[in-house]
Amino acid sequence: MQIRGKSDNLVVSKGSRLLASKSSEVKSSEPKDTFTPQSPVEEEKSSGSWIIKILDTRVPTTRTEISDITKEKILSSVQPGDIILETNNAYPSWQILEKVALNTNYTHAAMYEGDGKLIEATSDGGVKRSDLKEYLECLSLFEIIRPPYKTPQDREAALNYCRSQLGKKYDARLNLSDDKEHYCAELVYKALTSIPNKIEVPLKKFLGKPVVSPSSFKEIKGAQVIYSDNSNFWENIATHWPVSLGATTAAVAGGMVMGPLGVVIGFLGGLAISIHIGNKIQTGD
């Protein structure tokens, strides 16, 4: 349930996916001063931060940048209160984790506030405002879900809930029992279930506990899909074929020289080199 890393054009914060929510490579925008965060986001790393660092490893992809026509279509379609689902194709580890755990093709969820801003929960920034236009500069796929709000007051109540949570920490424990911390989909879930005319959101199970995933919002009765890139896990993974080819070639070479052990060493070495070179070409880092 998440977004982030480095994009080709800008440095961004890491997302919030299943354990951290990461789905894109974006830079967070400055929060408006309309609402005062209830609690500051602490900078200490959680006990699972090393896992998040591994998941946040950027892998070169053949996915192309979003066209200007598509950007305009997304910006003209989205309305306040809509749910934005996203997956950043430069971070396949998040995609694999969430596909295996929750069978979702998107790794991040956020609520659109309006005026080009969205409110999200991310692993490195907690609950914060971000600029949708900066998300559109990343190698991401999107889907816009419009919940079945019964009244305009319900929609505003959902937005006000998200605003009231600004500044809270990221929930790496996936705990739905309180609102002291939030992961990306949890924030949106709590917003929809706290309004006067509560919207039921189907829950899933992960390691025996109830969780909400980005795909849960697509299962809301009466929800509308306003826009979709039709993200497909297997197609997303296939865009990393140059890295796979480099690792496989190195594994074959290692096997010819050193035998079975050489296959393992060659594969790991080829993988690391392919990722480093590819990222250097794509981002300059």
The structural domains of the chain, with segments of one domain joined by +, span 2-237, 240-285
Note the pLDDT of residue 63.
79
13 pLDDT tier (thresholds 50, 70, 90): very low
Note the pLDDT of residue 76.
93
Q: Which residue has the higher pLDDT, 13 or 250?
A: 250
Note the pLDDT of residue 2.
52
Note the pLDDT of residue 48.
52
Q: Please check whether residue 188 is in contact with residue 111, taking contact to mean a CB–CB distance below 8 angstroms.
A: yes
Q: Please check whether residue 145 is in contact with residue 231, taking contact to mean a CB–CB distance below 8 angstroms.
A: no
The domain made up of 2-237 is a member of CATH 3.90.1720.10: yes
Residue 261's contacts (CB-CB under 8 Å, 6 or more residues apart) are none
Q: Is the pLDDT of residue 39 over 70?
A: no
Strands 204-206 and 83-88: unpaired
Paired strand residues for 85 = 109, 143
pLDDT tens column, 158-204: 999 999 999 999 998 889 989 999 999 999 999 999 999 999 999 99
